Chains A and B, each alone.
Chain A
Amino acid sequence: MPDRKRIELLAPAGDLERVKIAIRYGADAVYCGGKEMSLRNRAGNLTTEEIREACRFAKEHHAKIFVTVNMIPRDEDFKDIDTYLSDLERAGVSAIIVSSPEIVKRSKIAAPSMEVHLSTQQSVMNSAAVNFWKEFGADRVVLARECTMEEIRKIRSRTDLDLEVFIHGGMCSSFSGRCVLSNYTSARDANRGGCAQSCRWRYREENGEREISFGSKDLDASRYIGEMIDAGITSVKIEGRMKTAFYLASVIRSYRYLIDRYEENGILSVKDRCIASRIMGNVQNRETGPGFLEGIPGIDGLITPGTRDIVAQDYLGDILEYDAKEMKALVCMRNHLETGESAEILGTGGVSDIFTVDSLTSEEGIRKEVSNRPMEKLWIPVKFPCEAGDYLRRVRK
C-alpha cells in the first residue's frame, strides 16, 4: 500500500447526543450546526456551550468538530459574526463550513486557528474553481455532488487543496445553493435553512396529465470507498444532520468498517461488503443510488411520482443496560416486536450474531408476548455482552 494520509470519515449530528454517538461509532470528524447561520433550522443545532462539550468529547476520542456556518446570508445575518466565530474558535472547533465569501475572509481574522471549508453550496465542479477558493482563503473545498468519480480524480490531480466528497445521504435535485423552488412554492428560504423540499412534490403538466418530480434518490457511495481513498480525497462525508441517532450509528459504523478494511488490505472482498451492508441494515427511508459518481443519472436517479418512502421499522430499541450475570438486556422499545422474532444488536464494534427474542419481560417481572408501546422498558435475553447505547434491530427472514 502506498504511504498516504488516512482518509477522514465525516459525519453529521443534529445535537450533542448525536455528536457523541457519531464519534463512538467511528466518525473521525463530526459536523453540526450552531444556533447561528446554519442551513438546517429544524436540526435542533447546538448552543456554543454544547459545541464546547462536543469539542471536549471529540478531543478525548481523537476526533474533530466542524461547525456549519453555511447559509447564504442577508445583511442582517452578519450581526455579531466576528464574536460568533471567535466563540467557536475558543470552544475548540477545528473548522467551519462556509459558503459566504465574507465569512471566509472574516473567519481568517476573527478566528485564525479554525480551518475554513468551502461548502457544497458553492457547487465547485472543477480544479480552477478549487484553486480560486484556495487563493481566496479556503483550506478545503467540499465538491459539488454533481461530480462524477472520473471528474473527482481529475480535479484531485490538478490541485493540492484538501477535497471533501459526499458519500452518503440525501441529494439535492439541483445544484446546492442554486435552488429557490422552496422560496417560490412555500416562502421558505432554502438557502437560509428553510428548504421545504419542493423538488420532491409532484408537478402536473399544464393542460395535460403527465406528472414529474425532481426528487433525487439518496446517495450511497459505499462501492466507491476504495476509489476515493486511492484518489487521495481528504474526507468523505455523510449527509443528514436531521437523521436519527440509530441511522447515524448504522451508516457511520458501516463506512468505518469499509474504510478500515480497505486501508488495512488495499482491497475490499465480497465478504467485507456483505458485512458492511449488514451493518448498515435497512436504515434507508428512500431508494439509494450512486448519484453522479457513475455519470449523470437519468430516471434511475430519481424518486418518481408515486414512489413511497421506505418504512422498515427495523429499529427496535435502545439498550439501556446489560445484566451479564442474568445474560439479559434492558431495552427502551421503539417499534412493535413479538417473541419469536429474530433480532441483532448494533454496537460500536459492529453487529452481533442473530438471535431469537425468546421472551419480553417488564421491569416489574411481567412476561409479555408483544411489545407495542413505544418507550416501554423490557428485559430481553441476550446471550452475549452488549452495552448501554447499543441498538436492538429486527432481522427479517
Chain B
Amino acid sequence: MPRFVTEGIPGMNYTGLKESGASGVIFPVRGFSSGSFVYYPEEILKDESEKAREAGLSVYWRMTRLFAEEEIDRVRSFLEEYAVASDGIYYTDPCVYVFLKETGQARKGIFAEDTLTTNARDIQRYLDLGIARCLISPECTKEEVLSIAEKVKNTEILVYGPLSLAKSRRPFLTSYGVQSPFTAADPTGEYAIRVVEEECGTTVFEKDRLDASEYLPAFSRVTEYFQVRGFTKDEKELLEVLRKLNSAVKGDIPAEKRNGGFYAGS
C-alpha cells in the first residue's frame, strides 16, 4: 500500500489532502529547513499538526539543513519541545539524530539527504542507528533505486517536486545583486536551473520539477513511502498532483512530457 507523504501549505485543508491520497504531511520548519517552497513557523506547528491529525494524516517536521555550531543549541531546544508532537523528523545533519536520541526519540529520525544515500549498505548503516527510514538519493537511476529498495527495508523515494542539485552556505544571489528565485541556463542553454537563496544559504534546483509518475508502478513494488516535495502555494494544484500520483501507482499514467530526473539515467 503506497503512502504519499507531502510537504504541506500552512492553513490548508488537510482533509482534502487526505482524500487526495496523502498519508502524511511534512511541515518544513522555518529556520531549520532549507530549499522548501513554503515554511511553517514554530508558533503554528502544534495547531497545524492537530488539524492534520484530525484529518487522519501523520505529521512530520522537515529539518534538513546543515547546522553551524552556534545553531545547535537552538536545534536541541526545538527538538526538546516539538519532537514529541511529530511522527517523524526529516534530517540531514547528524546533530538532529543526536538530540533525538538524547530524548529517547531516535526512532523518529528520517535521514533525507539528497546525495549521500546511493547504496544499500550505507542506507542500512543509517537505519541501524534505529531511525524510521531513509530517503534513497534522487541522484540514483531507476534501476539503482529498485536495487537498493529490494535489499533494504524502510526506504523512501522522492517522486515529485523540485530536484535539488546543489546546496551552499553562500548567498550567491545577494552577491550578484539579483533577486531570488533566479532562473538561468548553462552556456549551451540546454540545462536550466532555478536558484533560490534563503537566509541560511542557496539551493540550486533543476528548473523543471521531478515527476516520477512513470516509475511509480515499479517503485511501489519495492517500497511504500513516497515523498512529494513542496512546489506550490496553490492547494488545488497540490491535491491534483497527489491524485495523479495515486493513479500512476495503478498504471494510469497520462501520456505527457515529464522530467524523470536522474531516475531516467544520464
Chain A positions near chain B (C-beta within 8 angstroms):
72-75, 77-78, 99-102, 105, 121-129, 131-133, 144, 146-148, 151, 154-155, 158, 173-175, 177-181, 183-185, 187, 191, 198-199, 201-206, 210-212, 214, 216, 292, 296-299, 301-302, 304
Is A205 touching B183 in the complex (CB atoms < 8 A)? yes
Is A204 touching B184 in the complex (CB atoms < 8 A)? yes
Q: With A and B bound together, what is the CA distance between A121 and B116 in angstroms?
A: 9
Is B175 touching A299 in the complex (CB atoms < 8 A)? yes
Is A125 touching B94 in the complex (CB atoms < 8 A)? no
Is B192 touching A210 in the complex (CB atoms < 8 A)? no
CB neighbours of A102 from chain B (8 A): 119, 121-122, 124-125
Q: With A and B bound together, what is the CA distance between A184 and B186 in angstroms?
A: 11
- Closest CB in chain B relative to A247 CB, distance in Å: 26
Beyond known contacts A125-B67, A173-B168, A203-B193: 19 more, CB 8 A cutoff: A75-B120, A101-B125, A102-B124, A122-B116, A128-B95, A132-B97, A154-B69, A174-B168, A175-B168, A175-B169, A177-B115, A179-B165, A181-B166, A184-B191, A206-B207, A210-B176, A214-B170, A296-B169, A301-B175
CB neighbours of A185 from chain B (8 A): 186, 191
Contact of B84 with A by CB under 8 A: no
CB neighbours of B85 from chain A (8 A): none
- Closest CB in chain A relative to B187 CB, distance in Å: 6
Is B165 touching A129 in the complex (CB atoms < 8 A)? no
Chain B positions near chain A (C-beta within 8 angstroms):
66-72, 76, 93-95, 97-99, 113-116, 118-122, 124-126, 139-140, 144, 147-148, 151, 165-176, 178, 182-187, 189, 191-193, 195, 204, 206-207, 262, 266
CB neighbours of A154 from chain B (8 A): 69-70
Q: With A and B bound together, what is the CA distance between A202 and B185 in angstroms?
A: 8
Is A126 touching B115 in the complex (CB atoms < 8 A)? no
Q: With A and B bound together, what is the CA distance between A47 and B172 in angstroms?
A: 40
CB neighbours of B95 from chain A (8 A): 126, 128-129, 132
Is B119 touching A75 in the complex (CB atoms < 8 A)? yes
Q: With A and B bound together, what is the CA distance between A124 and B116 in angstroms?
A: 13
Q: Give the residue name and chain of the A residue nearest to B97 (CB).
A: A132
CB neighbours of A146 from chain B (8 A): 66, 68, 169
Q: With A and B bound together, what is the CA distance between A185 and B118 in angstroms?
A: 19
Q: With A and B bound together, what is the CA distance between A131 and B173 in angstroms?
A: 34
CB neighbours of B122 from chain A (8 A): 73, 100-102
The answer to whether A72 and B175 touch (CB under 8 A), given A101-B126, A206-B183, is no
Listed A/B pairs (7) with beta-carbon separation below 8 Å: A127-B72, A128-B95, A154-B69, A206-B184, A212-B173, A214-B170, A214-B172
CB neighbours of A201 from chain B (8 A): 186-187
Is B165 touching A181 in the complex (CB atoms < 8 A)? yes
CB neighbours of B266 from chain A (8 A): 187
Q: With A and B bound together, what is the CA distance between A214 and B178 in angstroms?
A: 13
Is B118 touching A72 in the complex (CB atoms < 8 A)? yes
Query: B97, B115, B120: which has the most chain A beta carbons within 10 Å?
Result: B115
Is B125 touching A184 in the complex (CB atoms < 8 A)? no
Is B119 touching A296 in the complex (CB atoms < 8 A)? no
Partner of A175 from the list B66, B70, B121, B195 (CB cut-off 8 Å) is: B66
CB neighbours of A202 from chain B (8 A): 186-187
Q: With A and B bound together, what is the CA distance between A72 and B175 in angstroms?
A: 31
CB neighbours of A299 from chain B (8 A): 175-176
Q: Give the residue name and chain of the B residue nearest to A175 (CB).
A: B167
- Closest CB in chain B relative to A59 CB, distance in Å: 33
Q: Give the residue name and chain of the A residue nearest to B192 (CB).
A: A206
CB neighbours of B166 from chain A (8 A): 173-174, 178-181, 199, 214
Is B69 touching A203 in the complex (CB atoms < 8 A)? no
Partner of B66 from the list A123, A292, A297 (CB cut-off 8 Å) is: A123
Is A180 touching B115 in the complex (CB atoms < 8 A)? yes
- Closest CB in chain B relative to A68 CB, distance in Å: 17
CB neighbours of A212 from chain B (8 A): 172-173, 176, 178, 182, 184, 195
Is B167 touching A179 in the complex (CB atoms < 8 A)? yes
Is A126 touching B204 in the complex (CB atoms < 8 A)? no
Return the 5 tightest CB-CB contacts between A and B, nearest first.
A128-B95, A187-B266, A132-B94, A101-B125, A203-B184
Is B121 touching A302 in the complex (CB atoms < 8 A)? no
- Closest CB in chain A relative to B89 CB, distance in Å: 15
Query: A146, A155, A301: which has the most chain B beta carbons within 10 Å?
Result: A146
Partner of B114 from the list A122, A178, A214, A292 (CB cut-off 8 Å) is: A178
Partner of A131 from the list B98, B170, B175 (CB cut-off 8 Å) is: B98
CB neighbours of B116 from chain A (8 A): 72, 99, 121-122, 177
Q: With A and B bound together, what is the CA distance between A299 and B114 in angstroms?
A: 27
The answer to whether A75 and B147 touch (CB under 8 A), given A99-B116, A132-B97, is yes
The answer to whether A296 and B170 touch (CB under 8 A), given A100-B122, A177-B116, A204-B185, is yes
- Closest CB in chain A relative to B9 CB, distance in Å: 26
Q: With A and B bound together, what is the CA distance between A55 and B29 in angstroms?
A: 49
CB neighbours of B185 from chain A (8 A): 203-204, 206
Q: With A and B bound together, what is the CA distance between A159 and B176 in angstroms?
A: 37
Partner of A125 from the list B69, B120, B139, B204 (CB cut-off 8 Å) is: B69
- Closest CB in chain A relative to B33 CB, distance in Å: 15
Q: With A and B bound together, what is the CA distance between A203 and B188 in angstroms?
A: 9
Is B169 touching A128 in the complex (CB atoms < 8 A)? no
Q: With A and B bound together, what is the CA distance between A158 and B69 in angstroms?
A: 10
CB neighbours of A121 from chain B (8 A): 116
Q: Give the residue name and chain of the B residue nearest to A212 (CB).
A: B176
Q: With A and B bound together, what is the CA distance between A257 and B165 in angstroms?
A: 40
Is B93 touching A74 in the complex (CB atoms < 8 A)? no
CB neighbours of A216 from chain B (8 A): 170
Is B178 touching A210 in the complex (CB atoms < 8 A)? yes
Is A191 touching B169 in the complex (CB atoms < 8 A)? no
Query: A101, A173, A181: which has the most chain B beta carbons within 10 Å?
Result: A101
Is A125 touching B93 in the complex (CB atoms < 8 A)? yes
Q: Give the residue name and chain of the B residue nearest to A185 (CB).
A: B191
